[in-house]
Copies of this chain bind each other. A is one copy, B any other.
Amino acid sequence: MGIKIGLIGAGRMGKVYASTLAFSISEADLVALADPSLEPLDEVASRYHIAQRFHDYHELLAQKDIEAVVIASPTGTHAEMVIAAAQAGKQIFCEKPLSQDLKACDNAIAAVKQAGVKLQMGFMRRFDPPYAAAKQKILEGVIGTPVMFKATSRDPRRTSLEFARRENSGGMIMDMGVHDFDLARWLMGSEVRRVQSEGACLAFSELKEVGDIDNAVINLRFTNDAVGNIDISRNAVYGYDIRTEVMGTEGSLWIGYLQQTPTLVLNRAGVTHDTVPYFMERFAIAYAEQVRVFVNHILNDTEPHVTGEDARAATAIGIAATLSLDEERPVLISEIE
């Protein structure tokens, strides 16, 4: 009865989107799933009652009744799939990042433009209620002119060594920082002009072997002269810690939370509460909300607000910040264009 949607990818993120499409969005019908691996394909298709299943995503794209696709495959395949989906005339929702390569971003953006289809990128934090509330308050002028951006992005444990390799994840700054780079541009209402990174492998020495780090701080300078800093860590053993601040001339906004269950334990050891375990506990609502918004963009024929250009800009900042780490100097975003 709703919009017919095909999902590409039956891995970790594929399951997230399958669940959302199957249960949370009544205007969408999840009718097809594609994944080259047989086992997850069957498991996910069965669990969420998805009628059609394909090993090759091109077959999914060839189905005429499928109006839109959700791309949740490994990062390295996003750009080519966006191009193929655009050429097949599908409306496209694509998990972030579009690509870790700027040229590939450009090609995907061009294909989407040429096909005249919609592309919404999966920067879900923009749809998280506290971030959305903050953006709204900034627009209302509650904090005056934003002058400083602060972000903390910390994982409770390190990624796999294989994924940590630059060729897979893009390195920690690209991998974990990309959401903050997007928030920085969006919340500050200004592009990033220059970055300077300090980072090192301090907690998990085995990451050195694959060329990655586990802690970094990144200074930001915006085109409107505002300043910022992002700290990233893989060893927040206490939990998943995502907090953001936008400070302006007339006030400040703090966004995020650390406590998961509102239960306090008070005993001789003091007062204790738990923390958010990981990203799905923190951003479950946002993951669903962004797809709901995407479906509504299709229904109402309106343009998505999180575009391919946004994805490209976040990638550019990530490339520059990683170059700054390597070369131990500030890097202008304009250098890497």
Contact = CB atoms under 8 A, between A and B. Distances in A.
Interface of A: 1, 22-24, 26, 47-49, 129-130, 133-134, 137, 142-143, 145, 147-148, 150, 152, 194, 196-200, 202-203, 214-221, 225-229, 231, 233, 235-239, 247, 249-259, 261-275, 328-330
Contacts of A228: 198, 217
A11 to B, nearest CB: 20
Contacts of A200: 225-227
Contacts of A330: 196, 328-330
A267 B247 contact: no
B237 A250 contact: yes
B196 A198 contact: yes
Given A233-B247, A253-B263, A270-B273, 15 more contacts: A130-B263, A143-B267, A148-B215, A148-B217, A197-B219, A198-B219, A202-B249, A215-B227, A218-B219, A236-B247, A239-B266, A250-B267, A251-B265, A254-B264, A254-B266
Contacts of A194: 198
Contacts of A329: 329-330
A110 B109 CA distance: 66
Nearest to A230: B229
Please state the number of chain copies in the assembly: 4
A145 B261 contact: no
B238 A229 contact: no
A301 B238 CA distance: 39
A217 B229 contact: yes
Contacts of A254: 263-264, 266
Contact of A262 (B229, B257, B265): B257
Nearest to A195: B198
Contact of A198 (B129, B215, B227, B270): B227
A24 B268 CA distance: 32
Contacts of A203: 145, 147, 249
A202 B215 contact: no
Nearest to A228: B217
A1 B48 CA distance: 12
23 contacts: A137-B263, A145-B203, A147-B202, A148-B231, A148-B233, A150-B231, A200-B227, A215-B227, A219-B229, A235-B247, A238-B268, A238-B270, A239-B266, A250-B268, A253-B265, A254-B264, A255-B263, A258-B271, A266-B275, A271-B274, A271-B275, A329-B329, A329-B330
